[in-house]
Homo-oligomer: A and B are copies of this chain.
């Protein structure tokens, strides 16, 4: 299936939108479950995440199948995922919200970074968290967790629809991440959501200035006709 285009203009707009604004836009379109639950940003550098999803699915480990020898196989799905996710995309990993083991560590994350991948989101743990935290790269996980992935997870599929943090993620969906967390935008909605969110961000920039200046919520947030008129004047004045 070919995906709708994801152009630079849309990427640029989304890079300046908060996940708060984006979840509101999706809520207005009837989508109430778009924010990945139970993950947090591990890195402070690298800016917001804006990238199409490439996915990896795990099921529970089984002792006879999941021994350290499996990594000798270069086709092992976890390792293949790292080598296969296209530059500019984000690797999104389904760990069934089980953070008792890592879904990666500093070596794998370094490889992703070197390959130009846009970031990583997992609802499992990550090991070597202090090293990863220094990387210039948006990385989100359930928290630090040292044990080897094989103790809990068996990587099984690449780039299929998955669950991540109780949200459906389809390959090619646009993920946006900031300090609050990560929102999943269905691919076909990315352009219209980006446009409307950018407009909402501008309006809220104006509104927060009004609130700081002492205006009350009624009439200001949401704006009434008078506030909207002042917004239009403000918008022109700042060009």
**What residues make up the interface of A, taking CB atoms closer than 8 Å to B?**
18-20, 22-24, 27-35, 37, 40, 59-64, 68, 71-72, 74, 79, 82-83, 96, 100, 102, 105-108, 110-111, 114, 127-130, 143-148, 150-151, 154, 156-157, 160-163, 166-168, 178-181, 183, 186, 204, 207-208, 211-212, 214, 216-219, 221-222
A144 touches B72 (CB 8 A): no
Candidates B24, B32, B40, B107; contact of A204 at CB < 8 Å: B107
Also in contact, A208 and B110, with CB within 8 A (given A24-B68, A34-B147, A181-B144) = yes
Chain B: CB-nearest residue to A184: B62
A128 touches B20 (CB 8 A): yes
| A147 smallest CB distance to B (angstroms) | 4
B211 touches A114 (CB 8 A): yes
Q: Report how many copies the assembly holds.
A: 6
A180 touches B127 (CB 8 A): yes
Candidates B60, B102, B212; contact of A110 at CB < 8 Å: B212
A181 touches B217 (CB 8 A): no
A180 to B162, CA, bound (A): 27
A218 touches B79 (CB 8 A): yes
B27 touches A129 (CB 8 A): no
A102 to B143, CA, bound (A): 21
A110 to B217, CA, bound (A): 11
* Additional pairs, 8, CB under 8 Å, beyond known A30-B64, A107-B208, A154-B168: A22-B146, A27-B151, A32-B151, A37-B100, A71-B221, A107-B211, A146-B180, A154-B161
| A222 smallest CB distance to B (angstroms) | 5
A217 to B73, CA, bound (A): 11
